[in-house]
Structure 1
Amino acid sequence: MLIYNAKVVTWEKPNQIHDNYAVYIQGNLIKEIGPSSELLKKYPAEDKIDADEQLLMPGSICAHTHFYGAYSRGMGIPGVPSKDFPENLENLWFKLDRSLDEESTRLSAQIFAIDAIKAGCTTLFDHHASPEFIDGSLDVIADVIDKSGLRASLCYEVTDRNGKNGTKAGIRENVRFLTSLKAGKNLGGRLAGAFGIHACLTVDEETLEDCAAAIPDGFGFHIHLAESQEDEWDSLYRFGARCGQRLYQHHILGDRTIVAHAVHVDAREMELLKETGTWISHQPRSNMNNAVGAAQVESMLADGMKVCLGNDGFTFDMWSEWKTAYFLQKVIHRDPRRMNGYDVQEMAIYNNAKLAGQAFGFGDQFGTITVNAPADLILVDYKPFTDLNPGNIPWHIIFGFREAMITTTIVDGKVLMLNRELTTMDEKAICARSREKCPEVWRRFSELHGVK
């Protein structure tokens, strides 16, 4: 396939932007990049996509999400509104995940896969929970990823909140799935995995010890860390150590582990995260919604920590996450000088790409338009009326880009959406079935609240 007549944003370091360029894809890899006139002559018989001067960029990457949260959209929560984050967990998420069966787990993944394709988000790091459907749940989501054509890393959330039998089942599901990946069931490099744990708030020392002992070689963990201050206070009260210290003591931190949020970590915990090479995923829209505060991402980045950008189950329009990350630090600190656009770019582009390159085996070429990089690409119908160059592109994204501008999504060399038409998923049929399933899921949710 040859994509030509494009403004190519390579996202190399340093970034380059080429006018009227073409990209030749062979199989699942980018094989040549050059002026459109030259490559059109060289590959006259190849399938072609005329970019019509659109931006051709690597697809977005989401470092932390929750497919299972799809049915929360528009759902009313019975009772008095939650006053803090622990109440929000108890009133919403801990009841929603218990309301999911196999079909609603599949539909949740399908709905968000559609959203990701339309939003140009080609690589996803999911953190799943469905306590009433644990065994085989990751295979159901993997099947959705397979058929959608996306690239994803999956894990199951181990927690003690549903009893020790549930804890053991979650550990078994992680081990089973990761073992299958080691055996080669990785969709040709589109499927990866981690060992999921919910948070310090919902696991005791025995569970952390069991998880550390059970994880297969070559994998890391995916866990929420200090999302709210209650996570830290609970850890200190019950175990005499802060969350990051507990994870460090149990060998949960490491250069293949993702910790989500890290809003309330202290200086020593940040030292431990840096020392172990642990990845940190920042979710500003979620942090604002849950009123938990803002992570010290500027300081973390300045100290060389590996801070990425996720969405925590919000829409997969990652440019909205860029905007929120940029604005949140300014309003929290009441200082318009806070959060440079280059810092947002470092998280969303370069650090996310390094994380994905490690997880999926492509190294530093992941998330770039370079020879032998994976062909995970999007076309963006953005016609700038001021100069667009490598120096100012973060501010074009923050102040100018919109999800609706994405016209084409390609993953692993396969077109998943062309001219805004999905090619791998039947959005109309999936949404119709989801609406039929919705009353059943919401009824179970209400019953868990004691509402008939």
Structure 2
Amino acid sequence: MIIKNGKIITWEKENRILDGQAILIQGDMIKKIAPVEDLLREYPGEELVDAKGQYVMPGNICAHTHFYGAYARGMAIPGAAPKDFTEILQKLWFRLDQALDEDSVRASAYVCILDAIKHGTTTLIDHHASPNFIDGSLDVIADVVDETGIRAALCYEVTDRGGEGRMKAGVEENMRFIRKVQSSRPGDGRLSALFGLHAGLTLSEETLDACRRANNVGAGFHIHAAEDAADEYDSLTKSGLRTIDRLQKHGILGRNSIVAHAVHVDIKEIDILAETGTWVTHQPRSNMNNAVGMAQVEGMLRSGVRLGLGNDGMSNDMWEEWKATYFVHKLWHRDSRRMPASLIEQMAVYNNAELATDLFNVGKIGKIEPGAQADLIFVDYHPYTPLTTGNLPWHIVFGFHSSMITTTMVAGKFLMQNRQLIWIDEEKIAREALGFAPDVWKRFVTISQETLEA
């Protein structure tokens, strides 16, 4: 197709905003950018799509999320409210994931991916857990990814908290799925796989070694680290090392691996993350919700850490994550000069694009240029002040809203057009997810009561 009459935000490293240009898409890739008359003359048989003056830009990328967290929305937690991060894990997440079965895993993937499409997020890096449905759980999610047309990287979080049997099942699920993706590349390159680990505080020395030995095919790891100070103290108790030092000792870090949060790392740990080229993801809305503090984002970027932006299972509206990042660091440091929007642009656009490009190996992702994947969104934004490449990040923070996204495309296929979902029946998905929710919540309450009695 040829997309005409759009103002093109390229998100190239030297970003450009192009007016009077059109985009030629062939297959899943951007083929050419040129005046529409030139493209029509050279490619007369192509479908013509009118962007109607909207901004056409690469889709947003989420570097860390949890589809399975969908069923936490509106759910009451029995007993007193959790007082700290450890209790949040124990009272909420370690019970919710046990309440999930095949149907609810599938439904949670559907609703989160639907949410992403509507909010212009075209690539998701998920971190899954369902201790009572491990074997084949990643296939269930992958089927939803394939059906909906989104781009996603999947893994299963290995943990010791369910015993040795479940730990080994998690290892096997990761390796089975990694080999499957590496051998077949289903979904036309829209699917990728990592080796998931929960966090150091639920992993023994023996399990970390076992995971490193099992992962013999070069896949990166995806793990939470130093989200709360409890992770650091647990690591010191178990190994005498801080969290990042411990992960380095066990061979978990590296250029293909992702560490989520890194809120409570020290200067040496930041150096290790930078030296090993490990990806770190920042999730400010989650950090605020869990009251764990804020990562040293500016310091990590200055130190050369490859730092991206995720949402940790909050809504897949990544511009909301931009806004949270911009405001919370000013409040956290009590300094309005902190966290300029240009740094958020570096994380959310350029770093996330580099991470996605590395993971999916299908050409560049997150840019509009020849040879890049055609993952695009149309944004119906009408600025009343000048919009330039220099001030675009501030327009996003103060002006852009997800309600302005009218069209979402992944790999050259429309998933939403003119605010109408193409492949997904939203009402049906919501109805089915709602049908499973009462049983999930009932199991959650039962697990909570059994835990309290024990």
- Name the TM tier (shorter chain): over 0.9
TM-score (norm 1): 0.98
Checking the alignment, whether the CA contact within 8 Å between 1:178 and 1:216 is kept in structure 2 is no
Q: Aligned equivalents of 1:94 and 1:156: distance in 2?
A: 14
1:45: Cα distance to partner?
3.2
1:130: Cα distance to partner?
0.2
Residue matched to 1:417: 416
Residue matched to 2:448: 449
Give the 5 Å matches for 1:207-226.
Answer: 207-226=207-226
Residue matched to 1:230: 230
Residue matched to 2:203: 203
Q: Deviations over 1:346-405 (max 9, x none)?
A: 000000000000001145x32110001110000000111111111000000000000110
Q: Aligned equivalents of 1:48 and 1:263: distance in 2?
A: 47
Residue matched to 2:311: 311
- Partner of 2:19: helix, strand, or coil? strand
Q: Which moved further from structure 2: 154-163 or 229-238?
A: 229-238
Amino acid at match of 1:421: Q
1:81: Cα distance to partner?
0.4
Amino acid at match of 1:121: T
- Partner of 1:187: helix, strand, or coil? coil
Checking the alignment, whether the CA contact within 8 Å between 2:308 and 2:348 is kept in structure 1 is yes
- Partner of 2:8: helix, strand, or coil? strand
Amino acid at match of 1:178: I
Residue matched to 2:293: 293
Amino acid at match of 1:401: F
Residue 29 (1) aligns with residue 17 (2)? no
Q: Deviations over 1:64-109 (max 9, x none)?
A: 0000000001111111000000000011111110000000000000
- Partner of 1:255: helix, strand, or coil? coil
Checking the alignment, whether the CA contact within 8 Å between 2:189 and 2:362 is kept in structure 1 is no
Amino acid at match of 1:361: N
Residue matched to 2:84: 84
Residue 193 (1) aligns with residue 202 (2)? no
1:235: Cα distance to partner?
1.1
CA-based RMSD: 1.2
Residue matched to 2:327: 327
- Partner of 1:450: helix, strand, or coil? helix
1:268: Cα distance to partner?
1.1
Q: Aligned equivalents of 2:36 and 2:228: distance in 1?
A: 51
Residue matched to 2:153: 153
Residue matched to 2:143: 143
- Partner of 2:62: helix, strand, or coil? strand
Residue matched to 2:54: 54
Residue matched to 1:173: 173
Q: Deviations over 1:235-261 (max 9, x none)?
A: 112221111111000000000000000
Q: How many residues align?
A: 451
Checking the alignment, whether the CA contact within 8 Å between 2:270 and 2:303 is kept in structure 1 is no
Amino acid at match of 1:441: V
1:44: Cα distance to partner?
4.1
Residue matched to 1:389: 388
- Partner of 1:186: helix, strand, or coil? coil
Residue 19 (1) aligns with residue 19 (2)? yes
Q: Aligned equivalents of 2:397 and 2:40: distance in 1?
A: 34
Residue matched to 2:407: 408
- Partner of 2:6: helix, strand, or coil? strand
1:41: Cα distance to partner?
4.2
Amino acid at match of 2:294: A
The percent of aligned pairs where both chains have the same amino acid is 56
Residue matched to 1:262: 262
User: Any gaps of 5 or more consecutive residues in structure 1?
Assistant: none
Q: Which moved further from structure 2: 38-47 or 320-329?
A: 38-47
TM-score (norm 2): 0.98
Residue matched to 1:366: 365
- Partner of 1:449: helix, strand, or coil? helix
1:185: Cα distance to partner?
3.6
Checking the alignment, whether the CA contact within 8 Å between 1:6 and 1:54 is kept in structure 2 is yes
Q: Aligned equivalents of 1:41 and 1:55: distance in 2?
A: 24
Q: Aligned equivalents of 2:398 and 2:366: distance in 1?
A: 22
Q: Deviations over 1:388-447 (max 9, x none)?
A: 111000000000000110000100011100101111111111100111111100000011
1:302: Cα distance to partner?
1.2
Give the 5 Å matches for 1:423-442.
Answer: 423-442=422-441
Q: Which moved further from structure 2: 270-279 or 178-187?
A: 178-187
Give the 5 Å matches for 1:101-112.
Answer: 101-112=101-112
- Partner of 1:323: helix, strand, or coil? helix
1:128: Cα distance to partner?
0.1
- Partner of 1:61: helix, strand, or coil? strand
Amino acid at match of 1:307: L
Q: Aligned equivalents of 1:60 and 1:21: distance in 2?
A: 22
1:20: Cα distance to partner?
2.9
Give the 5 Å matches for 1:113-124.
Answer: 113-124=113-124
Checking the alignment, whether the CA contact within 8 Å between 2:195 and 2:222 is kept in structure 1 is yes
Amino acid at match of 2:53: E
Q: Deviations over 1:315-374 (max 9, x none)?
A: 1110000111111110000000001111000000000000000001145x3211000111
Q: Aligned equivalents of 2:43 and 2:384: distance in 1?
A: 32
- Partner of 2:449: helix, strand, or coil? coil
1:313: Cα distance to partner?
0.4
Checking the alignment, whether the CA contact within 8 Å between 1:20 and 1:53 is kept in structure 2 is no
Q: Aligned equivalents of 2:266 and 2:24: distance in 1?
A: 48
Checking the alignment, whether the CA contact within 8 Å between 2:123 and 2:152 is kept in structure 1 is yes
Checking the alignment, whether the CA contact within 8 Å between 2:134 and 2:173 is kept in structure 1 is yes
1:35: Cα distance to partner?
2.3
Report runs of 4+ in structure 1 exceeding 4 Å deviation.
none
Q: Aligned equivalents of 2:367 and 2:245: distance in 1?
A: 36
Checking the alignment, whether the CA contact within 8 Å between 1:62 and 1:309 is kept in structure 2 is yes
Amino acid at match of 1:201: L
Amino acid at match of 2:376: L
Q: Which moved further from structure 2: 27-36 or 109-118?
A: 27-36
